[in-house]
Structure 1
Amino acid sequence: MSFIAETKNVERTFGRGAAAVRALAGVKMRVEAGQLLVLKGRSGSGKTTLLNLLGGLDRPTVGSVYFQGREIGQLSDHERTRIRRKNMGFIFQSFGLLPLMSAAENVEFGLRLSGVPAAEWRERVREALDFVGLSKRAHHRPFEMSGGEQQRCAIARAVANRPTLLLADEPTAELDSKTGLQISRLFRQLVDEGAMSIVMTTHDPGVMEVADDVYELEDGLIKE
């Protein structure tokens, strides 16, 4: 099985001197094609930092991060942005939806940023909203939707451009257990049917049950 992403001896330190905090302390991991991988650990264990490095949102202090064989930490900001927009999807705990846009407009906005041709927008939006079960809420704005519906909208926006790698930070943290289970099953379906890999951080046992692998971080290291 081929590797979509990989970290080699990655360290990430914030601050300098006596005030320096080492968030990651030499992490080695691989994300395989068609894999749902979960990162778990206590708050401050380095989960979100590792997710940001995999997505090219940050650079390691030491070590290397690869995406599809390219060391993304060595690329320019412009090139990393281009890769993120075309090949990655991001889902944040806060949903990150634009409040004055409808569900369909939020998804379309993601396609605009990704550089998808305008001729494909309508069909891609329809497909994405239908996949997450939000077709009937297409013209509703975020404040008119429940938390679970907002999260499904965020997922639709993230997958509409058909990313190779989807990164999700605590995607079910603000949801009730029933909705969280629905979302975790949706992630499993994305991997099985969507030809993508997913890495997510979570404390949710329901999400871990549908994962292919679970890595636990402690003090900036993956526990053996």
Structure 2
Amino acid sequence: MIPEQQMEQHQQGLIMEAKGVKRTFGKGNNAVHALKNVNLHIPKGCLVALKGRSGSGKTTLLNVLGTLDKPTEGTVYFQNKNITDLSDKERTNLRRKDIGLIFQSFALTPYMTALENVEFGLRIADIPSKERTKLAEEALNLVGMKKRMKHRPYELSGGEQQRVAIARCVAHQPALILADEPTAELDSKMAFQVIHLFKKLIQDTGMTVVLTTHDPDVMELVDYLYELEDGEIVQTKQIANI
């Protein structure tokens, strides 16, 4: 468990916080309680993992933190601002500018090159056209894909495709990245490289990364680990010395 004094110190530099978050699907006897009174603290500049079996609520929690879904009860704060009741437009703008999302499926456009995929993400983020190529190239270079940026997804390995997805996510320099099982489709070597890439991004840019995982090897490399079970956080650990 994280010592209370140490957690209090880190709370002074929180990027995200969840207080009493619940998420219920359905009503009455058919209600499914996906999240139950979740309290979560995400310090700035850290790699944080949400651990849990399938159905534990970790993806639901990630969706709530990323404003893809609204909590039934409770409050979510991002950079000290209550984001729980933002309008759809405000939530979309938040994801375009400040919160980056990485999906397990990579979600790359198959007939676009790596560079074009990243540029397309920047266009969605409303980055001016004259800046897109430069930012896309910088992001691909940052993830070690400089020599492969003209290749299309089907010409890239699974690890390389994940790197392109990460580049697309970080190109507009969000403060927070939320990644759903980013290593699930990768072998252990590629998974190790992706996690170390996240740690390098945190070191070089100061951004924060929150990911979901059930991979024990990944859990050993993060800074903080939150374990979920049946929609509740049952354990919090500090893994690395911050």
> After TM superposition, what 4+ stretches of structure 1 lie above 4 angstroms from structure 2?
none
Indicate yes or no: 2:14 matched with 1:13: no
- TM (norm. structure 1) is 0.97
Task: Give the 3-state SS of the residue equivalent to 1:74 in structure 2.
Answer: coil
Give the counterpart of 2:130 among 109, 119, 122.
119
Shift in Å, 1:88? 1.0
The code of the aligned residue for 2:15 comes to: I
Shift in Å, 1:47? 0.3
Q: Which residue of 1 aligns with 2:101?
A: 90
Q: Percent identity?
A: 58
Aligned equivalents of 1:178, 1:208: Cα separation in 2: 15
Q: Which residue of 2 aligns with 1:184?
A: 195
- The equivalences for 1:156-171 within 5 A come to 156-171=167-182
**8 Å Cα contact 1:184/1:206 also seen in 2:** no
The code of the aligned residue for 2:47 comes to: L
Shift in Å, 1:119? 2.1
Range moving further from structure 2, 206-215 or 151-160: 206-215
Indicate yes or no: 2:78 matched with 1:67: yes
Q: Which residue of 1 aligns with 2:157?
A: 146
Shift in Å, 1:75? 0.9
RMSD across aligned positions (CA): 1.0
Q: Which residue of 1 aligns with 2:120?
A: 109
The code of the aligned residue for 1:99 comes to: P
Task: Give the 3-state SS of the residue equivalent to 1:66 in structure 2.
Answer: strand
Q: Residue deviations 1:87-128, cap 9 Å, x none? A: 011111100111121100110011111122222212111111
Shift in Å, 1:203? 1.4
Structure 1 gaps of 5+ residues are none
Shift in Å, 1:159? 0.4
Range moving further from structure 2, 187-196 or 37-46: 187-196
Shift in Å, 1:140? 1.1
Indicate yes or no: 2:64 matched with 1:50: no
Q: Residue deviations 1:136-181, cap 9 Å, x none? A: 1111111111111110100000000001000000000000011111
Q: Which residue of 1 aligns with 2:89?
A: 78
Aligned equivalents of 1:149, 1:30: Cα separation in 2: 31
Q: Which residue of 2 aligns with 1:37?
A: 48
Shift in Å, 1:205? 2.4
